[in-house]
Structure 1
């Protein structure tokens, strides 16, 4: 799943590059998978990756499978239950479970999709799926309470689902979570969380240090055993597994919003928090960083968070499909940041650590600290053309510039002066440089529409032309 999409040699709209230092006003790169790429809908409820590498995406219009290149919609024609895909689960046998908005269940065993109804055709959306340590599948619904499905080896014709806790749990549940100690939890619409009690019923989950004034929205257990609780208006709370005091994360602590929708964990065991209107926050010890539309995320409303086997973060948004975050290594640099034109044809890192971008509107040089150091254009009297196609640095630190209709130039960063190479340029058809490469010291190879030239700058000799 490459974050850089190329058309010929032109990198269009955004540049993702390796950041060597912290960049001021950083805009990070999030690959977007939306309806324009085949996603059934922009609202993503759930996302996960299976053992074969397929990313499954639950949207309000149905299930989709993404292989890193293309999106395929899954529907009743494939054997799936009808309706939007509200929740997803990968069980211990590697089977995919899908809870639908219309109340149905789909199970995919790697070969086929099997659709099921729950109870007597339960009409309520399946808002949560969880598997406990015994292999029991727990369902949370938006109007029919909680259901339990016993462990099963093969796909049966019908599901043996049983409703549980009808007198203790609300009918409308927001989600389900299976804890490492074997208990299962349900988040109620009223903002409370109940947990199974010795298989005989349900009781409120013990959450010391969280004011009861806040309504709960989400529950997540970190690989460390810590419990994370999301609230409306109170931010996120961490209940350490070692019994240490509860820790609160809110806007003053750096969280993007105090209404939390979901949690996730990355390969470095950092906790990610998706919010209603403040984007996505990463909590790493005492440090909290937030990602939102101002620095690259395509939404302020994050509905779900997953992770693929490459360590990329899978972010389901409320209104812009799926965002894929490949880490802080990739930073977006576009027109809002000083890029002269979104059409970038050449990228060069010089020996000083500066990055040069050749665009259709001249050259932009990014300094080592990430800010624009200089621009080089026709308008400032430096170039013969703004349409840059090639950039190379020679052994003396000079930059060679190939243009689309202005021939070849040599730029000296020390003097800030560009010198047109007229003796070569006049031999090029339409003065178009199509390729540029360094040869032996003092030697340059220049491609054009009418062959390749071996050029020795300053020698006074006519460039040697090679054609096929």
Structure 2
């Protein structure tokens, strides 16, 4: 499927850099609420069977007695290869290759959706909840940062680690936070970014930080220790995911896919019309971008073309919320109402024309 591109904004990358409106202050991280060595439960995975589709193997994990919830809205693989799942119900679980492990006595997860999970360069896991703040797990203890102990927001919309090992945290109502060791800096709309609801954060090949928010895009960069706004891109569509591939940047929005290329944002007419919450690069070929769409299933963007994969795989659900690659280079796909899909293949050959 060849893209039909329509230019909607031209020359936006030529805007002059804007210094932040105020000196960004650093604050000490608040003392978190802590739960150590929580009880765990192990559930052995029952035989789920394999569904052969051409050259591809698809495995589904959607048994209620295995998973806390069938709405899987975040996935992350840690440094040991353990796959972690966040659920809309507020539960977390992980898969260690044999069993599904759930955690008891971590009450600050309960009833608050786990929107995002990352594993940082030190092996710590960070969980972003909707309603109960930011949670860090070091393998022994869970540390909760919420408004109850001085944190800036309980609604964490995205988490990202940059190449300098800074942890960026986006909120739905209070801008972004940049954590460095035991201190953090806060940046809001008053400082010059587009808005206070930041849904995604990424970094390109030039160490430029991209923010996607309810009003479009913003690009930031550190010059020595000074943070500078390079450009704002007003789009009027919430940007939910961002990924960089050579000279092209893909933007997943509430209404499909946009592309930043040649100093412009371009829009295209093709099959993805609904929200795009998650995109990753293929391990086997970084030129291929795997796209999980809310209403239209799984796609691959390659060589300026978009290919549908989900229909060939006969997914039971087109409501794909998140996608993650495991250490064995299989794909883990989180769905609404259909649990987790594990997709094992060495290459994607099931393209629709």
Distance 1:93 1:35 in 2: 33
CA contact (8 A) 1:92 1:135 kept: yes
Q: Which moved more, 1:166-175 or 1:95-104?
A: 166-175
Cα RMSD after superposing both structures: 3.4
Equivalent position SS for 1:31: strand
Q: Given the alignment of the two structures, is residue 216 of structure 1 paired with residue 239 of structure 2, yes or no?
A: yes
- SS of alignment partner, residue 296 of structure 2: coil
> How many pairs are equivalent?
296
SS in 1 for 2:79: coil
Residues 53 and 312 of structure 2 are in contact (CA less than 8 Å); yes or no, is this contact kept in structure 1?
no
| CA distance in structure 2 between the partners assigned to 1:214 and 1:149 by the alignment | 28
Give the corresponding residue for 2:29. none
Give 1:183 deviation, angstroms.
2.7
User: Is 2:228 the counterpart of 1:237?
Assistant: no
Residue by residue over 1:204-231, the C-alpha shift from the partner in whole angstroms, topping out at 9 and shown as x without a partner, is 356xxxx957553321124x46421123
CA distance in 1, matches of 2:331, 2:269: 22
Aligned to 1:391: none
Q: Structure 1 residues 194 and 114, CA, compared in 2 at 3 Å: closer, same or farther?
A: same
Stretch moving more, 63-72 or 125-134? 63-72
The 5 A counterparts of 1:105-184 are 105-117=134-146, 120-151=150-181, 160-167=183-190, 168-169=192-193, 170-184=195-209
Correspondence 1:204 to 2:231: yes
C-alpha separation in 2, matches of 1:260 and 1:32: 22
Point out the more displaced range, 138-147 or 320-329.
320-329
Match of 1:304 among 322, 335, 344: 322
Q: Check 1:183–1:80 CA distance in 2 against 1; reply closer, same or farther (3 A cut).
A: farther
Given that residues 49 and 59 in structure 2 are in contact (C-alpha distance below 8 angstroms), is that contact kept between their aligned partners in structure 1? no
| Correspondence for 1:435 | none
**Which residue does 1:272 correspond to in 2?**
290
Higher relative contact order (CA 8 A, sep 6+): 2
Q: How does 1:402-421 map to 2 (within 5 A)?
A: none
The structure with more strand, counted as a fraction of residues: 2
* Partner deviation per Cα, 1:246-291 (whole Å, 9 max, x = no partner): 776542xxx4445433211121222111212111101232553313
- 1:38 matches 2:62: no
* 2-structure distance, mates of 1:176, 1:52: 25
Mapping 1:59-74, distance limit 5 Å: 59-60=87-88, 61-74=90-103
Change (3 A) 1:13 1:312: closer
Q: Distance in 1 between matches of 2:212 and 2:65?
A: 34
Unpaired stretches in structure 1, ≥5 consecutive residues: 7-11, 20-27, 153-159, 332-468
* Partner in structure 2 of residue 344 of structure 1: none
Q: What is the CA–CA distance in structure 1 between the aligned matches of 2:320 and 2:51, rounded to whole Å?
A: 24
Q: 2:248–2:259: 8 Å Cα contact kept in structure 1?
A: no
* Distance of 1:329 and 1:266 partners within structure 2: 9
Deviations 1:323-360 (A, max 9, x none): 111127899xxxxxxxxxxxxxxxxxxxxxxxxxxxxx
Shift in CA distance, 226/112, structure 1 to aligned 2, threshold 3 Å: farther
Q: 3-state SS of the aligned residue for 2:178?
A: strand
Q: Which residue of 2 aligns with 1:453?
A: none
1:87 alignment counterpart = 116
The whole-number CA distance in structure 2 between the counterparts of 1:212 and 1:123 is: 25
Note closer, same or farther for the CA distance 1:311–1:180 as it changes in structure 2 (3 Å cut): same
1:445 matched residue in structure 2: none
Distance 2:283 2:143 in 1: 32
The alpha carbon displacement at 1:66 in A equals 1.3
Q: Aligned equivalents of 2:309 and 2:220: distance in 1?
A: 36
Residue 64 of structure 2: SS of its match in structure 1? helix
Query: Any stretches of 5+ residues in structure 2 without a counterpart?
Result: 1-44
**Shift in alpha-carbon separation, 1:37–1:244, aligned structure 2, 3 A:** farther
SS at 1:310 equivalent: coil
User: CA separation in 2, counterparts of 1:225 and 1:94?
Assistant: 30
Q: Which has the larger radius of gyration?
A: 1
